[in-house]
Amino acid sequence: MAFGPTASAEHPQPRRPDPHSNPCSPPSKSSPFLRGECLRLPKGEVNYQLHEPHLPHAENSANSAAPLVVCLHGLNGSVSSFAKISPLLVQTGFRVLVFDLYGFGLSASPSGRLDVEIYVDQVVKLLEGLKVPSTEKIFLLGFSMGGVIAVEFTNRFPERVRRLLLVAPGGLLQRSKTPCKPLLFGCLRTRLGGCLLAAATLLACCCSCCVKRSLRGDKLANRFELDVREPVKFKDVSRENGERFLWNFHRSVNVYLRVLRRMPLWCEDFQDSYEALAKGRTPVLFLWGDSDCTVPYSEAEHEVRKLFAPRGVSCCMLPESGHGLLMEDAVQVSHYAAAWFCDLKDPTWKSCLDHWRLQANPVASQV
């Protein structure tokens, strides 16, 4: 392993179907999403996969004793976001739980707000539904927007989280550097936002066929190009992401805007939660690509250093990696994750953590 700078569910009575719901029951046409098991929670059905390690010499109940890693995907992500790193973590002896957040993939899209409250509750209810004991400590891996949910879950249930890994997490971006600021903060996130949301959803519903016809082949791949150093190698993945977004176009637009309206993806909205995390006792590790253009470390660096340098937290940087590091650098990410969750005592790993230890003084930065 190489490290370093180079290197019980509730069952409510049936309700009237939500017009934006896309439960994990068999769809009317072929789905581009990865289908797993389906669990009905109070807010709707959740599509999930629980990967178990293969331990041939263990007792039948041994797998349930394997440490559990819960992965939380980002905006417009799904179970497939962790398709490459999940098997690698399983090979190192972890159970890995991946699932579609409400509104994404094959999970239901409940009415009302899509905010951090509903997503933290989804994690809680899902763990209950899968019979994970409340006394069992889990590992959390939060990617991008999933990092916001992971931070909030850890703050509310610190006794349930053994270690936290934040991969290019949200909640640290600067509003001043956000594209389309007037539309986002001047309209969508105000009282008028509901009207804009309804109008955009209606327009997406009316224009769905036209959009699908206009975005085909390379056009679709280019529109959904990944933030990676070699986009050409991931054209098929980009096309698949586009197909997933277009599969139920008006639902995708509706959920995207609802999340942007309510989720605390900017530092001004989520600073208190990061401060609470920094003051807590849960071990935290940041992992970032130094070429990330979606959630640039340069925008988050000041806040991360200010809050977490006093605790001696490390922020490991992957050279030339973009926001698509879970895909492009899955092996390296899984190595970092496994070492962190196992609290590896290997001198090379300890040296890596020391190298990327956050310094309060930016001049002393190794990044």
Give the pLDDT confidence of 23-72 residue by residue, as tens digits: 565 544 578 999 999 999 999 999 999 999 976 554 444 445 899 999 99
Answer with the residue of higher pLDDT: 363 or 305. 305
What percentage of the chain exceeds 70 in pLDDT? 88
Instruction: State yes or no: pLDDT of 17 exceeds 50.
Output: no
C-alpha radius of gyration, the chain, whole number: 20
pLDDT at residue 185, rounded to an integer: 93
Give the pLDDT confidence of 209-241 residue by residue, as tens digits: 999 999 988 899 999 999 999 999 999 999 999
Residues 6 or more apart whose CB falls under 8 angstroms from that of 364 comprise none
pLDDT at residue 6, rounded to an integer: 43
Q: How far apart are CA 367 and CA 360, in angstroms?
A: 13
Torsion angles phi and psi, residue 305, rounded to 5: -65, -45
pTM of the model: 0.91
Give the pLDDT confidence of 114-165 residue by residue, as tens digits: 999 999 999 999 999 999 999 999 999 999 999 999 999 999 999 999 999 9
pLDDT at residue 361, rounded to an integer: 72
Q: List the alpha helices (DSSP H) in 49-192.
A: 62-65, 85-91, 116-129, 145-156, 181-183
Closest CA to 336 of 360, 326, 154: 326
Tokens of 47: 């599509």
Q: Which long-range contacts (CB under 8 A, 24 or more apart) does 204-212 make?
A: 204/249, 204/250, 204/252, 204/253, 204/254, 205/249, 205/250, 208/246, 208/249, 208/250, 211/246, 211/249, 212/246, 212/249
Answer with the residue of higher pLDDT: 350 or 1. 350
Q: Are 355 and 6 in contact (CB under 8 A)?
A: no
Range 326-345 average pLDDT: 98
Q: Are 46 and 38 in contact (CB under 8 A)?
A: yes
pLDDT at residue 23, rounded to an integer: 52
Confidence of residue 7 (pLDDT cuts 50, 70, 90): very low
Instruction: State yes or no: pLDDT of 250 exceeds 50.
Output: yes
pLDDT at residue 363, rounded to an integer: 55
Q: How far apart are CA 106 and CA 73, in angstroms?
A: 14
